[in-house]
Structure 1
């Protein structure tokens, strides 16, 4: 009797995030979002909305702060993206990790995985629809 292959190594326990090795993306995405939200709301916000960029106003114009002038609050908020990026990278198998290794932010990682794996499903559906239509319109050629 063959044993069933586990979908996720850590099964989404509360201590470890779910691992993603390229299969069952929709399932992993839900588990990973819940995991990130459970760590801290601001961590999920960094994934969903992008990293905090410390800014200041000079002459009614918004400018990025130089790192030396960051407040403690700025430093704390910037850290959320770094934590999220670390958590996301630590969940990925080698192929998925190399797919996102160029990403600079947690949002880029999330968006890259989403586009890669959700578009694949959409493309498959589109091809299936096209093939179904061709099948329905198929007629035997005259001799």
Structure 2
């Protein structure tokens, strides 16, 4: 076992009595690590949603495709927004120049 895993991991499980105990401890260590990564990814995606703005040089179709991809990723993580929230977010994402030109 010592040769099969990284020395840092081995030091965490070297006091275990059986392979089953070692495996259980390693699973617990890595499960916690993946949960932390998932939480960070979730927080990063929510932050990306909150900061979302349309790039002034991109087409609306490009912006909407990017927005849809982000929303689908958020849905897969259990974060849902109402249609009215999404519409307001899209309208707020347009560059101020676009409002001036198309707002009249």
Smaller-chain TM-score bracket: 0.3 to 0.5
Q: Where is the strand percentage greater, Structure 1 or Structure 2?
A: 1
TM-score normalised by structure 1 residue count? 0.32
Q: Where is the helix percentage greater, Structure 1 or Structure 2?
A: 2
User: Larger C-alpha radius of gyration, 1 or 2?
Assistant: 2
TM-score normalised by structure 2 residue count? 0.42
